[in-house]
Amino acid sequence: MNPKLLILADLGSFKAYQLATTPRGTPRLEPLENTVLTDAHQRVVDRVSDLAGRRAPPARNAAATPVGDDHNLKLETRRRLTRQLAEHIRRLARQHPENGLWLAAPKALNRMLCETLPNGLRDRIEVNLARDLVKADPREVLAVFGPLLHPVRPESRPKR
């Protein structure tokens, strides 16, 4: 069995493992990379340097209007973080070209991440789970992905 490159991602962190089997056929995880994206953990107040936006204008006749416009900063931050995650995946896929690629990310991020990846790399993804497994310990990850290493063949299923 060829080893698999297992990618676990959420919007704030990225983990990569090499998933292989021992000579006895037991699945084994070898950590390759563990990255925390610092932009995901910053507050908007820390990124925006305009102090005028922190105070509301004095209300006239009970009508208060905002000083600044909403520039979709949260959406743009999501896009940037998704591109950073895609770049991590591209780099690891280039370093391990012989390995199959398995991915697990939360549903909304999974879709955006797959759209960001180039077509050739997207085609290399063998298993794609819409689950957040970044904070799961390796035993839980093996419990999810281990059975996928050796799928049950139709002829080996018990007959009813």
DSSP assignment string, 15-30: EEEEEEE-TTS-EEEE
In a domain, 54, yes or no: no
Q: Is residue 69 very low, low, confident or very high in pLDDT (cuts 50, 70, 90)?
A: low
pLDDT of residue 148: 80
Q: For residue 33, what are its two tokens?
A: 């990379």
> How far apart, in whole angstroms, are the C-alpha atoms of residue 55 and residue 43?
17
User: Higher-confidence residue: 55 or 124?
Assistant: 124
CATH number at residue 36: 3.30.420.60
In a domain, 114, yes or no: yes
Dihedrals φ, ψ of 53, to 5°?
A: -70, -10
Q: Is it the case that residue 119 has pLDDT exceeding 70?
A: yes
Q: For residue 148, what are its two tokens?
A: 């996928």
Residue 30 to residues 15, 39, 82, Cα–Cα distance (Å): 11, 27, 24
Indicate the average pLDDT of the chain: 80
Give alpha helix (H) positions in 6-103.
Answer: 44-47, 73-95
Sign of the C-alpha dihedral, residues 99, 37, 133, 79?
Answer: negative
Give the other-Cβ count within 10 Å of 151's Cβ.
8
Query: Dmax of the chain from CA atoms?
Result: 79
Residue-number span of the structural domain to which 139 is assigned: 4-40+73-151
- How many independent structural domains does the chain possess? 1
Q: What is the pLDDT of residues 132-157, one digit of tens each?
A: 999 998 899 998 988 887 655 555 45
In a domain, 131, yes or no: yes
